[in-house]
Chain A
Amino acid sequence: MDNRTVTKDVRRYNSYLSTVNLNYNFLSNPWIPTMWSFTFPGFGHLLLGMYLEGYLLVFWEIVVNSSAHLNEAMMYSFIGKFELAKEVLNFKWALLYIGVYVFAAWDSYRSSVDTNKINILARNENAMIVPFKMSALSIAYLEQYPPRIAAAWSFFMPGVGQFLIHRLPTGFIILFWWMLLCYLSNFPLAIFYTLTGSFELVPSILVPKWFLYMPSIYVYSMFDAYFFSVEFNKLFKVEQATFLKREYQNKNFKIPRKKRKLY
Chain B
Amino acid sequence: MYVIASFEHSFYLEMAINELEGNGINKDNIFAIPLTPKVGQRQAFDTIHHSDGISLMDGPAIIGTLLAVVGATYGYILRWGPVIWGLIGLAIGFIVGFAFKLLLNRGKLFRKKTKGTTTEVVLMINCYESQAALVEKILYNYYAIGVAKINQS
- Cβ contacts under 8 Å, A212 to chain B: 69, 72-73
- Given known contacts A227-B55, A244-B32, is B80 in contact with A215 (CB within 8 Å)? no
- Given known contacts A74-B73, A230-B46, A253-B126, is B51 in contact with A215 (CB within 8 Å)? no
Is B28 within 8 A of A250, CB to CB? yes
Is B70 within 8 A of A78, CB to CB? yes
For chain B, the bracket of interface size reads 35 or more
Indicate if B62 sits at the interface (CB-CB under 8 A).
Answer: yes
Is A39 within 8 A of B65, CB to CB? yes
Shortest distance from the beta carbon of A232 to any chain B beta carbon, whole Å: 9
Per the bound structure, the CA–CA distance linking A87 and B94 in Å amounts to 34
**Which residue of B2, B58, B76 contacts A227 across the interface (Cβ within 8 Å)?**
B58
Shortest distance from the beta carbon of B18 to any chain A beta carbon, whole Å: 12
- Cβ contacts under 8 Å, B66 to chain A: 39
Shortest distance from the beta carbon of A224 to any chain B beta carbon, whole Å: 9
**Which residue of A229, A240, A253, A254 contacts B13 across the interface (Cβ within 8 Å)?**
A240
Indicate if A258 sits at the interface (CB-CB under 8 A).
Answer: yes
20 interchain pairs, CB-CB under 8 A: A32-B58, A32-B62, A35-B62, A39-B65, A187-B83, A190-B82, A202-B81, A202-B83, A203-B82, A206-B76, A226-B55, A230-B55, A236-B9, A240-B13, A240-B14, A245-B32, A248-B17, A253-B28, A253-B29, A258-B152
A78-B74, A194-B81, A233-B51 known; 11 other A-B pairs, CB under 8 Å?
Answer: A29-B58, A74-B73, A147-B46, A190-B82, A199-B79, A226-B57, A230-B53, A240-B13, A244-B121, A245-B32, A253-B28
A-side interface residues toward B, CB under 8 Å?
Answer: 29, 32, 35-36, 39, 74-75, 78-79, 143-148, 151, 187, 190-191, 193-194, 199-200, 202-203, 206, 208, 211-212, 214-216, 218-220, 222-223, 226-227, 229-230, 233-234, 236-237, 240-241, 244-245, 247-250, 252-258
B-side interface residues toward A, CB under 8 Å?
Answer: 2, 4, 9-11, 13-14, 17, 27-34, 46-49, 51-53, 55, 57-58, 61-62, 64-66, 68-70, 72-77, 79-84, 86, 89-90, 120-121, 124, 126, 150, 152
